Amino acid sequence: MAIHEFARRDVDIAVLEVGLGGEYDATSVVDPVVTAVTNVSLEHTAVLGDTITEVARTKSRIAADGTPLVTAADGEALATIREVAPTVSVVGPDGVVDATYQGRITHADSRIRLTTADREIDARLPQVGAHQATNAGVAFALAEHAVAAVRGDGNPTLPAPTVRYGLARAGWPGRFEVMSDEPLLVLDGAHNPAACDVLTGTLSDYNYDQLHLVFGAMHDKELAQMVERLPAPDTAITCAPALDRAADPAVLSRAIENAGVAAVDTGESVVGALRQATDVADPDDCILVTGSLYAVAEARTPFTQAPIPKQFADADGAEQSLRAADATASEARLARDRMVHNVVKLRIERRQATILKQELARLGGECVISTIDREAEPVDVVLAGTLRQFQQLIDLLSDSQDGLPGIGEEIAARLDTESETDRGYPWESGTAVMGVLNVTPDSFHDGGTHEALEDAVAGSRAMVEAGVDIIDVGGESTRPGAEPVPVDEEIDRVIPVVRAVADVTGVGDGDVLISVDTRKPEVAEAALDAGADIINDVTGLMDPRMRELIADRDVPTVIMHSIDAPVVPDRQVEYDDVVEDVIHTLSERLLLAEKAGISRDNVIIDPGLGFGKKAAESFELLGRLDEFDALGCPILVGHSHKSMFGAIGREDGERLPPTLAATALAAEHGADIVRVHDVAENVSAIDVVSAAAGDLTEE
């Protein structure tokens, strides 16, 4: 099925991960252009053999005649691979590429150096540990061989900037993933003794007081050896991921106790065990969740699965309406909670969902559980009820012993309608207007209009007079097929404009803010130094240097959902549910930002209309904009004059009228910022929405 799908998508290079060994794996049906055996350790011994030599021989039979096999194996494993594979490219000190670890930069990323016969490439890697440098070396060698095969020129050389770009964005969830540093929270899917050795070595580079272990593993693993190879914990909690292969927590507890750890608790769910560990950990401690990728996946759920709330009425508005109808103040206060209906979406374990459904039904509410049941994955649950019913459910859950730890608190957080602390930003008091000031010759709508400095200043003055809240300066077009702009050239375009706009009357002092639309950390840093207030990154802070800069400067930033920036023409992206998929991706980007030290209070979310979405998908994002409240951040909508409006069939091709309609729709659905070219017209559209909502004050 996978190969059929790759063929249907007409990919240039397909990457197949071998599931079990090589000789007996389904992937052996293909004719590869390059193969890899990263390393060799004892695992799946019942099938692959019970010695390193046997495992290496079985794995290396993925090799094909005349094609290279890349490996970082050494010793007897490497000797065996050389016997089987016709052409071997070794990653190591004497191989085709040597990958050396240069040490950690932060708690979550590091520097590495790749050395070949004719060059050195220093790169940044969003993982830590010497083993990840080796993995990067294998990936680099594989990529070079694969690209050479596709080109057909036999030249295995990738440009150094391309290598750096790829490695800087190489995320690997669940592999020594540092989620926080106070306390240090590490998720690592080590599920065999060799992986536990690597985990222990990597963790030794961190300083902490006590170690709190959360351990969940599969029953067919070498549990005693795994525990022996892990660092000795001060406390341990065992748990079971939600699938049949999971080992009984009591069995895991005995294995840990046999290793000499006295304080071992037997938990239930992985998330529950993680909460227990968090409750006892001090800020200078370390919490380690390990033993299985299934356990790590469940531990990541609270960080990545955003519940999607939908509120159909406002409690304060309900109370005001009642009092306007001459209800007494006490009646209005009592009735408001019964009258306001709420819908909240969660992702929880199916067992928990069943209990939740029973309890909410008893209180008069409704709970619907997804029929899709994937082993070991949480299920979607939609809860509907009044505020009072939800409060009763929360109280009930807080006293429950039915294994629903933390779910009451999660529901309460979703129903909290109090606004964020006012930091004085324009989007905190209504829908703000961000005016586009492109200083590029090739932007899709206004290319060249503000290219000259005097034109840019005049344009910014006109925006201020029209009531703009933010001026967004961009020096690189992201239209489909746009050519990338070198860093120096983009700085030369943007920085003089930022300085000049900062001197325009009305800009600065919190009245009108300056944003810079860039994906390059060098440009962002120069812009902030020149007086910019906000960084608008169409790649969603995928560059770790950009995350580091934003965290260090403590400034607002826009994280946009994008598949490619600039947009790749004719690229087709398929979504199961475009809103759900975009929210999920943005939650991962938010997690990256928070791990880098960026406060969620500084993040603005942009669904990225038109970036890797068809017109219908962009309109669906616009119509379901309120669901992005799940991420707990202000929402920016960038829709102005985009090609999506071509789908609605205006014969004159004019895109301003549909842009204004979309602005009103976005404001109605909760957009905090709209990014537009025609400021005066869009300010008027938002004023109409505000007046219709009762915000008009007549003198």
Q: Facing residues of 83 across strands?
A: none
DSSP state of 381: E
Question: Which backbone phi and psi does 391 adopt, to 5 degrees?
Answer: -65, -40
Strand 603-606 relative to strand 177-181: parallel, antiparallel, unpaired? unpaired
Ramachandran sector of residue 430 (left: φ over 0; alpha: ψ -120 to 50; beta: rest)? left
CA angle 620, 626, 630 (to 5 degrees): 115
Q: How far is CA 94 from CA 63, 99, 116, in A?
A: 21, 11, 10
CA atoms within 13 A on the CB side of 288: 30
Q: How far is CA 451 from CA 24, 61, 68, 456, 459, in A?
A: 61, 59, 50, 7, 11
Ramachandran sector of residue 176 (left: φ over 0; alpha: ψ -120 to 50; beta: rest)? left
- List % helix, strand, coil for the chain (3-state, nearest 5): 40, 20, 40
CB atoms within 10 A of CB 570: 7
Whose structure tokens read 């940044």? Answer: 124
User: Distance between CA 367 and CA 390 in Å, rounded?
Assistant: 12
Alpha-helical (H) ranges within 152-269 are 160-168, 193-203, 223-229, 249-258
Identify the active-site residue in 414, 642, 650, 655: 642
Identify the active-site residue in 175, 388, 613, 675: 675
Which tokens belong to 360? 């909410």
CA angle 484, 487, 492 (to 5 degrees): 110
Q: Is 642 a catalytic residue?
A: yes
User: Distance between CA 267 and CA 237 in Å, rounded?
Assistant: 6
Strand 184-187 relative to strand 177-181: parallel, antiparallel, unpaired? antiparallel
Residues with catalytic function: 642, 675
